[in-house]
Chain A
Amino acid sequence: MKFPFSILAALLLSACSGATLRGTGDLGIVIERAGGSVAVIDSSARAILGRVEGLGDLSHASAVYSRDGRYAYVFGRDGGLSKVDLLRRRIARRIIQAGNSIGGAISQDGRLVAAQNYEPGGVKVFDAETLELLADIPATYGDGSRRSKVVGLADVPGNKFAYALFDAGEIWVADLSKPREPKVTKFLSIGSQPYDGLVTPDGRHYLAGLFGEDGIALVDLWKPEQGARKILASYGKGMEKLPVFKMPHLRGWAVAGGRVYLPAIGKHEVLVVDSATWQEVGRIPVKGQPVFVMARPDGRQIWVNFAFPDYSHIQVIDTLEQKVVQTFSPGKAVLHMEFTPRGENVWISARDDNRVLVYDTASFAKLAELPAQNPSGIFFTSRAARIGF
């Protein structure tokens, strides 16, 4: 009588332990900003596997991944930091860490998660496992009584984080090799109103785009003693800026084939910079004010989306020809794009159509259309292995 029971038990166990084993290398999430949920997506099946709810206010939410690609750390506008288990499709941990937050980063060793906050302005660093607070670095400036909003947070090698202070016009690099004793290097007077930042894929250069003046602040992290310098300082000289209805976003995806492709503020242009000399080598006219300027992982194409009111279009730049080769309108209010890890497909969120679209990047054919509620950011787990993501 014992024998059938053990078989039954084994059967039950295998049924309970649930689905077949799988990796997470082709998984990702889509932020559904109105509903406070994320859709877990599979880029091989081109399908939504399920949803995780209860993540709070996800306007301008972003995510980074644990180095094993299993957990997404989702940073919500309301200061919520949620650790989402992609395999079990549930929240593993969640804290409210600030009043008003804008994003975050994960350290080189994967042990620290840092959040950049508007209110109270500063950076907080958490244990990636437990979300226990390890360091609180207020972004104080001037006489020390004021705190700046923090933008452009990026992980850099050496368990450091680089970021910019919007109100102060400073770049800070926080060394967290001893997580409870952060050491901050400050670069002062780097320019007016840095709005976002990026670190190059090799982790060497940190760039902060400036809103309050023309140009980009650049720090060589291998030679910090040289300080910050300004590049592209004259890109807008003598031209009237258009009103900016949405701040552009910068990230290391902008680098392709020895060139950096950057959104021009208040202009219908993509700026091209040689990453060896940091000189401007071209400007590519585009349909509207660029928001995301993203290189396909192989660097052959640059995909661009736009600010309101041109935000229903996408343009594709061929990097050999240095011009736009494709213009199309995948849906209303295109907020974000994300390439599959090797770039054969791109996933696009069309917020006002409540749809996520998948396109073939070689033929531009639409491959799939998936329902999502007011989708915004799309994040694949391949970010886990990239510096500056």
Chain B
Amino acid sequence: MAHFPDWVLAALFLFLLAPAALLAADPSPGRARELVRMVRQDCGSCHGLTLKGGLGPPLLPDALREKPAESLRYTVLLGRPGTPMPPWNAFMTEAEADWIVRQLMAGFPEETR
């Protein structure tokens, strides 16, 4: 492998990594709809339909800005012991939790009918 120039290795590396990055990107439109509904309706029973908070804290971009995405992902997946926040990892993948966190931080989509 030593005789390949660095840029070839880099290209190869990117090429191998790209599909994984794509997989991590977005759920299918149908699954995205389900996830939006789950967040609005089921997370909404504690965080509010508009996500401005309730028994649980607000999940609007302003409220999340200072929080690292990584820790939000694990809060979604594993819950927060000592609080009513339950783990949701039985109902979504890590990539889907990441997608939800990204949407929350950007301003969560409304449900489409």
A and B, one complex? yes
Give the complex CA separation of A100 and B49 in angstroms: 12
Give the complex CA separation of A246 and B37 in angstroms: 15
Total interface residues in chain B, CB < 8 Å: 20
Q: Does A126 contact B (CB under 8 A)?
A: no
Give the complex CA separation of A211 and B85 in angstroms: 11
Contact A351 B53, beta carbon cutoff 8 Å: no
Q: Does A195 contact B (CB under 8 A)?
A: yes
Contacts of A34 in B (CB 8 A): 49, 111
Contacts of B46 in A (CB 8 A): 246-247
Contacts of B37 in A (CB 8 A): 352
B27 to chain A, nearest CB (A): 18
B100 to chain A, nearest CB (A): 15
Contact A243 B87, beta carbon cutoff 8 Å: yes
Contact B55 A247, beta carbon cutoff 8 Å: yes
Chain B CB within 10 Å, residue with most, of A118, A195, A212, A243: A243
**Chain B, range 64-109, C-beta contacts under 8 Å to A:** 79, 82, 84, 86-87, 91
Q: Does A333 contact B (CB under 8 A)?
A: yes
Residue of B nearest to A36 (CB): B49
Contact B50 A57, beta carbon cutoff 8 Å: yes
| Prevailing SS type, chain B contact patch | loop
Q: A77-B48, A149-B55 are in contact. Are A351 and B41 (CB under 8 A)?
A: yes
Q: Does A60 contact B (CB under 8 A)?
A: yes
Chain B CB within 10 Å, residue with most, of A33, A60, A351: A60
Q: Which 9 A-B pairs have the closest CB atoms?
A: A243-B86, A59-B49, A308-B42, A77-B48, A246-B45, A59-B44, A243-B87, A59-B48, A245-B86
Known interface pairs A59-B54, A244-B84, A245-B86; 19 further A-B residue pairs with C-beta atoms within 8 A, sorted by A's residue number: A33-B49, A57-B48, A58-B49, A59-B45, A77-B48, A77-B50, A77-B54, A100-B52, A102-B54, A118-B55, A195-B55, A243-B79, A243-B86, A244-B86, A246-B46, A247-B84, A308-B42, A309-B91, A374-B41
